[in-house]
Chain A
Amino acid sequence: MDIASSLAIVTLAALIHASFQLSVSVLTLLSGHAIGSKTSQSRILRLTFGFVTGVGVMTLLALTFISFLFIHVFGNEAPQFVWAIACGLLIGVGLAVWFFYYRREKGTSLWIPRSFARHLSDRSKATKHSAEAFSLGLTSVISELLFIAAPMIISALVIIQLPGAWQLVGIAIYAVISLLTLFSIWVLISSGHKLSSIQKWREDNKHFIQFAAGGALAILGFFVYVTKIMSDVAGAI
């Protein structure tokens, strides 16, 4: 697989990651509580920026860790069966996202363990300092691992086969693109947009987001299966 195709796969995986909504929900709650408790705008900016930074750092750490683990176990090229498992995981998670991503109720409740949701909700209310917001960002990525593990794993498999410097580029591309949604919401909140408009847009478009994320996961799984596994098999014949 050439460098351009590899980076294209990483980009698509990161876009899928960006479409997942848990961190956006926590950011909405965090800003809502901060604005509601008469926190100054500069402190709201610091809190929300701390949160976005926490999400970015944890995304970077998680992808780097998975890549390091794969390099340690498989070297620069993972065996075919690992690629096949990763493709199956992408398609499986894609179908699961179609059916289970949002709970069947009003609002934007996600299908994550309720204890995680309660913890994040309570912490977003209690967060008063940037350092707490940063750790909340770290935690929210962990809570979302169920959904983001598949795009991260496929990205890590692609990244480890790149030449040294391009591996860093791949990781940076993933981290930056996966933060795009959260960063956009942060800009909207910081510029004084109403939370109700943001939340209403999210609620109105939740089924589209769910369909797009699930569909993109399945397409990515199929694409990688064809370009990596089937082309290797065809080459061997």
Chain B
Amino acid sequence: MADDRTHVSIIKRQGQRPTESFDKAKLHQSIVAATLSARTPSGQADNIANAVTNYVLEWLEHRPEVTSHDLRLVATRHLRAHHPDAAYLYEQHKTTL
């Protein structure tokens, strides 16, 4: 499995912002942040983020472009298996306000 999949294009929400390349570190960071927000110790948050990021990388393997919405859905689905509270916060982030 490749570590960097920057050739995968991420189509941003409703096409309002320009398409950008997939950034593994950005995804990892967002999962860590959501997991920490659910009051999880940082080591555990990092492990969960690694597992979810690897799963998303596998999912991206045969897809040249995906929407940011789909990416979030897939990450949420896998995060839910590890930490339901963190998955809820991750899912709700865009719809809290």
Contacts and interface: CB of A to CB of B under 8 A. Distances in A.
B6 interface: no
Contact of B89 (A38, A121, A196): A196
Nearest to B89: A196
A6 B52 CA distance: 57
Given A22-B97, A38-B42, A203 B36 contact: no
Contacts of B92: 106-108, 199, 203
* Chain B: interface size category: 10 to 19
A107 B96 CA distance: 6
B10 interface: no
A196 B84 CA distance: 9
Given A35-B36, A37-B33, A194 B96 contact: no
Interface of A: 22, 25-26, 28-29, 32-33, 35-38, 105-110, 117, 120-121, 192, 194-197, 199-200, 203
28 contacts: A22-B97, A25-B96, A25-B97, A29-B96, A32-B89, A33-B33, A35-B36, A36-B34, A36-B36, A37-B36, A38-B42, A106-B91, A106-B92, A107-B92, A108-B92, A109-B95, A117-B97, A120-B97, A194-B38, A194-B85, A195-B37, A195-B89, A196-B37, A196-B86, A196-B89, A199-B89, A199-B92, A200-B88
